[in-house]
Amino acid sequence: MGFRSWISVALQLTMATALLVGCSQPAATPDSASPSGANGVTLKMVESITSPQRTALLKEMLAQFEAKNPGIKVDLISPPFEGADQKITQMLMAKEELDVLEVREFNAKQFSMNGFIENLKPYTEKWKNYDQLTDVAKRRATWVDKAPYYIPNGLYQRVLYYRTDWFKEAGIEVPKTWDELLVAAKKLTDPTKNRYGYSFRGGATGWDYALITMWAYNGTEVDADSAFFMKDGRTLFSTPQSLEAMQYYKQLYKEGSPKDSVSWGFQEMVQGFVAGSTAMLIQDPDVIDGAKEKMQEGTWATAPIPIGPSGVAQQVVGGPGWGMTSYSKHKEEAWKLIEFLSDPEQSTHFAKKTSTIPVVKSAAEDEFYKTGYFQPFIEMSQQPTKFLDVSRPVDYKGWGAWQSTADKDIQSFLLDQLTAEDLLKKWDQYWTKEKAERK
């Protein structure tokens, strides 16, 4: 699943937040769970990131689970992807029979606040494989109140895709910093050949790429738990480093990217790369299968995302996973299923088949991840102090409204209709107000 879907679904969930607030019911405790291994138990499970291939894979894994646990049957519910999160929200609000569900990092807080999902700490404390999770996976699992409300089943993280043949032809090295990326983009740009250095994203959710740049320029002073703010309480948009980042961002568009990329979204930026118009692309692992299908082997590769002047790179790592409803009547069996799906062997198999980043440390020793296109993802996960995971303020009331205007603001900025200073001032005032109203 590409980043385009993460944001669109996040917006839909934000709009539904008002329905969730006030619906809270006390979460049941593990003591109320049905006896482990009870005969005739049927677990209801729902997935969110649905596709025919992924659903078939899950069904295979569930069949293995049932074979190992003869007393437990699992009914899998697979709503159409575009409406899956709304469907899950409705099921939870109605307290429909449900035991295991796929939780997303952007709805975990709403679900926990309303008592819909179980705090899994009593279970993870006894789970031998909890410490096998990578640092990033643990952070995703525990980002709500520092408690594990779900166990990630795969991570969505961005890397740099680049044309090895173009770089070799130009005699330049793959960029490791944002400054080097700009230099490479300018050198590789030749409009007469319809060649451009970088697949820019100025259209839908283009603001997120501006954020990545600002985070890289501000470094570790950014509040990782709410990355629109600094650790000292100021907004991200108030700093001199963010102004410098936005000036850089426009230069990258003007001097190293196609003019029409001001309106590019996910599909266009990927198409620009795989079709041979652009030399570099920053995207998640979704792109790998398509690139392998459409591009000649040996003409492209992946590398860690560039770092900023601060010496670090930050991004929001997507991390869906398996959680348990607070009102499940079969909690011990539900945990047994989550435990099975999260076993290092099963988890790594699932990640391979779904083109996501594995959540367990042992995957780094798997030959599949030691070399090739996935290797940079593993390299980044092994350097958590250099490649940082941050969280957007999706639980703020004004999150959805800000998203709806941010794309227009970015385009106005790129088209010289809005200065960097005015753009940042607007966002600074908005989020300063949001923070004040939240207190």
pLDDT score recorded for residue 32:
36
pLDDT digits (tens, 9 = 90+) for 358-387: 999 999 999 999 889 999 999 998 899 999
Q: Where are the domains of the chain?
A: 3-156+319-374, 159-316+396-438
Q: Give the CATH number of domain 159-316+396-438.
A: 3.40.190.10
Answer whether 3-156+319-374 and 159-316+396-438 agree in fold. yes
Q: Give the CATH number of domain 3-156+319-374.
A: 3.40.190.10
Q: What's the chain look like in SS3? A: CCHHHHHHHHHHHHHCHHHHCCCCCCCCCHHHCCCCCCCCEEEEEECCCCCHHHHHHHHHHHHHHHHHCCCEEEEEECCCHHHHHHHHHHHHHCCCCCCEEEECCCCHHHHHHCCCECCCHHHHCCCCCHHHECHHHHHHHCCCCCCCCCEECCEECCEEEEEHHHHHHHCCCCCCEHHHHHHHHHHHCEHHHCEEEECCCCCCCCHHHHHHHHHHHHHHHECCCCCCEECCCCEHHHCHHHHHHHHHHHHHHHHHCCHHHHHCCHHHHHHHHHCCCEEEEEECCHHHHHHHHHCCCCCEEEECCCECCCCCEEECCECCEEEEECCCCCHHHHHHHHHHHCCHHHHHHHHHHHCCECCEHHHHHCHHHHCCCCHHHHHHHCCCCCEEECCCCCCCCCHHHHHHHHHHHHHHHHCCCCCHHHHHHHHHHHHHHHHHHHC
pLDDT score recorded for residue 186:
98
Q: What mean pLDDT, rounded, does the chain reach?
A: 92
pLDDT digits (tens, 9 = 90+) for 145-157: 999 999 999 999 9
Provide the whole-model pTM: 0.86
pLDDT score recorded for residue 7:
41
